[in-house]
Structure 1
């Protein structure tokens, strides 16, 4: 398990006038060290990218399923900040609405908030609509709180306009899986619009995240911005973008969580 932990909590005060900040971001294909230019980005409040879920033309909703626990923590664990296991996916509907998010990829990334926990393993599972496994892996964790990122390998079975059911579990007691704490949701892959494709080719990281968000492509929007935040933990433009993206997706409870991004590694096979 690799943990990247800039020592930063972010607090943003919104101003009523436009603010211009300078953000150093390498263009696509260049590393930060090879890029000497600095780009000036105007980010008044009303221009921050708001997540807009697709509303038509992308297949049907996933079938209703039940039985999954919505968040929680292992028995005996404390949640000092009242935040429990949660998938960082858009939360814009009612409690009974289906948790559906969108990607362009056959290897999407999932961001999960992990509370401080006594569990030392987690499991991620991806299934098709018929509940057949496409991917299932167990990962080791340290038990510290943070935002875990799971990047799936290439899965050719993830095709456009189909729904896929994902599950993420805290393995609280390996000898009694009934004690697991589980969250779930649905992901659908969309086809890349040619206009958006051309815009992405010309955009830097922060602009790409904005474009994804405006197009409703949640997984790419949040993963791109999370990695940019790690590289620029003190940049007010990135902090503002991160806060506003989460707020626009109904995830305002997580805007003040320190950016402790945990890259999960598969456990060695026995």
Structure 2
């Protein structure tokens, strides 16, 4: 069966598994280490009419699909809109302990046409699930996309999925500069534009393997710049990758916790407690 409209596809089509685009990871438990401390508080996001970022379907109890006190939660700003400069951003969710073995992820455009869809395995929950849009998908700056992430609790009864939805808001350096000009009377400086360039982010992430300390310094500076401008996907991706490269860095762990606190995701961060560290 083939179909393009989201409303007719959800729960009906079978998607090919894309392990290259999908990974399952856990936030590391850091200890003490030396690091450059930065202030990383994500700005208060304006309401854009997006759905809630926590799951509301399913049931609770001994036979429930999801267990634990924390619900299925999208790791997004408070308005559940993910602003990004990337053609292929990464999105993140907290998945509680579950007996479900798979989840479904769909992105649709503002016409309801499916842009991307995949299924992914769920293992070793609770944990953070991340999905990166593949190179075959190119989001258009200025357009609005809706994503849907569903834990498939009962494959034969998709009405009982646990799910969350939200928005992807692709932008560009020029759009950001124009928005800043309208808000403050000043656009982005050439140095800011260079730092925000997606190619610069890609280069710095790659250098975590070859020159990790220098790459870390630049990435933390980039994260601060991204966060000040409300660019969520890159900010969280930087800290996810830095946490993998420096799992024992206490200052880095505290910066990540500060970021999550600033968007009211305190409990998610505390689930992966800063063992051996003191939060700022």
* Inter-partner Cα distance in structure 2 for 1:252 and 1:209: 19
Check the 8 A contact 1:9/1:258 in 2, yes or no: no
**How well do the aligned residues superpose, as a CA RMSD in angstroms?**
2.9
1:206 aligns to what? Answer: 220
Q: Distance in 1 between matches of 2:39 and 2:50?
A: 35
Instruction: Select which of 86, 92, 100 maps to 1:111.
Output: 92
1:165-207 deviations in Å (ceiling 9; x for gaps): 0100000011111111110001111112554232355962222
Given candidates 188, 205, 219, the residue that maps to 2:169 is 188
Whole-Å separation in 2 of the counterparts to 1:87 and 1:54 = 15
How far off its partner does 1:5 sit?
Answer: 5.1
**What TM-score does the superposition give when structure 2 sets the normalisation length?**
0.67
Equivalent residues of 1:111, 1:148 under 8 A apart: yes
Q: Where in structure 2 are the equivalents of 1:232-243 lying within 5 Å? A: 232-243=246-257
**What is the TM-score with the length of structure 1 in the denominator?**
0.70
- In structure 2, how many angstroms separate the alpha carbons of the residues matched to 1:48 and 1:252? 16
Q: Distance in 1 between matches of 2:192 and 2:248?
A: 29
2:74 aligned partner? 87
Give the structure with the larger helix fraction.
Answer: 2
Indicate the SS of the match to 1:255. Answer: helix
Structure 1 alignment gaps of length 5 or more? 13-20, 24-40, 56-60, 92-97, 260-270
1:103–1:7 CA distance, 2 compared to 1 (3 A): closer
| Number of equivalences | 215
How far did 1:155 drift? 5.0
1:154, CA displacement in angstroms?
2.6
Question: 2:177 aligns to what?
Answer: none
- Once the two structures are TM-superposed, the CA of residue 74 in structure 1 deviates from its matched residue by 5.0
1:220 aligns with 2:207: no
Say which SS state the counterpart of residue 71 (structure 2) adopts: coil
> Aligned runs of 1:107-146 on 2, under 5 Å?
107-142=88-123, 144-146=125-127
Give the CA deviation at 1:242. Answer: 0.4
User: Deviations along 1:102-131, whole A, 9 cap, x unmatched?
Assistant: 000111100100100011010010011121
**Residues of 2 paired with 1:242 and 1:69: CA distance?**
19
Select which of 186, 193, 206 maps to 1:197. Answer: 193
Matched, 1:249 2:263: yes
Partner of 2:55: 71
- 1:73–1:253 CA distance, 2 compared to 1 (3 A): farther
Structure 2 unmatched ranges of 5 or more: 1-18, 175-189, 205-216, 274-280
